[in-house]
Amino acid sequence: MALKIAVVAGDGIGPEVIAEGCTLVRDVDRALDLSLSFDHKDWGAERWLKEGVGMPKGALEELARDYAAIYFGALGDPRIPDMAHGREILLGMRQGLDLYANFRPCKCLHERLSPLKGKGPAEIDMLVFRENTEDLYVALGGTFKQGTADEVAQDVSINTRKGVERILRHGFDTARARPRHDGMKKLTMTDKHNAVRFGGGLWKRTFDQLKGDYPDVTAEHLYVDVLAMEMVRKPERFHVVVANNLFGDILTDLGAALMGGLGLAASGNVHPGKIGMFEPVHGSAPDIAGKGVANPLAAFWTASLMLEFLATKDAALAPRLLRGARAIDAAVTACVDVGPRTPDLGGAARTQDVGAFVREHVGRALAA
């Protein structure tokens, strides 16, 4: 049966980079005979403003039942300052589909892109996992005596044994299956249990119990403040990093900066074994939307992550899906190296120039 992909291009530069990404994936599909099928969903600001609908009724059930993956652009529109549509669609998918593992490769593709002196592709190559369904992001809490001098505000952090264990296991499994380029297999768990005792304590106890199941993976614990410092000081000591929702949110942005900025950063939100939603880290970038200069490389890298995830869902197609993913990775690296560059990377190229270069590179690799 064909692997079905729901495409949600969204707002701003989302449709511009996702159009390029879809053309690229279609090329890979044709070259490798993957029989992927694509359905475009018009969820985003326009529909919200016209009909007041973010995600139509029954859409979550349909995604869970019929689709293998979601290829997502970005949401955000100056006409909807509170991002109400974004909350409904994006958070709806993350929570509604229980996409508990958010991950972002933090891999520097070229010395030139690194903000750290003397650190480049050999040193900056980690994979950051953020727990995506719990912690302070569950919107539990409230205010008391709001608007007075005695106001009290509270946000509740939820940490469950099940939630902590599954993200840690996924991190350990990934460290085992995908060693760093130099062969390192390591998982760094981060928390702040010296100060945040209860949730942090659960994370630390669970980590200590699980690490025995992975004797081939080096397991290390670092407090999050030390980790942030070390990611900048000595990024080469990290392979897989696992953090709760809040710490992961911050660390993944630090990671995006280490690899050279938003134009390149890709991410996945997955429920292993079920469905995955793949999105570039950047937002809708209203300042450059419609100008044809958005960098599509993050969307291309995101497409590669999606193909890799699809390989876990279809054993027969897996070798070809992985071949496609590796061809995209190589083309993105070549583009950063010698290809056209959009203005965010210091060039004057347009989105479509980058798309054409990457497609040509992928086409040659897959024809060989």
Shortest reach from residue 177's CB to ligand ATP, in Å = 29
Select 227 or 328, whichever has its Cβ closest to ligand ATP.
Answer: 328
For residues 21 and 200, which CB has a smaller minimum distance to ligand ATP in the complex? 21
CB 185 within 8 A of CB 216: yes
Q: Which residue has the tokens 């970038």?
A: 285
Q: Are 193 and 151 in contact (CB under 8 A)?
A: no
Specify the residue, 18 or 365, whose C-beta has the smaller distance to ligand ATP. 18
Instruction: Give the nearest residue (CB) to ligand ATP.
Output: 283
CB of 47 to ligand ATP, least distance (A): 18
The two structure tokens encoding residue 194: 């010296």
How is the chain split among helix, strand and coil, in percent rounded to 5? Answer: 45, 20, 35
Cβ 299 to ligand ATP, closest distance in Å?
8
Would you say 82 or 287 has its CB closer to ligand ATP? 287
Encoded amino acid at 359, one letter:
R
| DSSP tag of 136 | G
- CA–CA–CA angle 124, 128, 130 (5° rounding): 160
Query: For every residue of 311-363, which 3-state class applies, written as one string?
Result: HCCCCCCHHHHHHHHHHHHHHHHHHHHHCCCCHHHCCCCCHHHHHHHHHHHHH
Cβ-based nearer residue to ligand ATP, 14 or 324: 14
Closest approach of ligand ATP to the CB of residue 281, in Å: 7
Chain contacts with ligand ATP (rule: CB under 6 A): 13, 17, 74, 76, 262-263, 282-285, 287-288, 294-295, 298, 342, 344
Residue 41 structure tokens: 């969903």
- Give me the least distance between CB of 51 and ligand ATP, in Å please: 22
> Minimum distance between the CB of residue 260 and ligand ATP, rounded to whole angstroms?
12
Identify which of residues 188 and 284 has a Cβ nearer to ligand ATP in the complex: 284
List, in sequence order, every residue forming a beta bridge with 186; answer none if it has no partner. Answer: 218
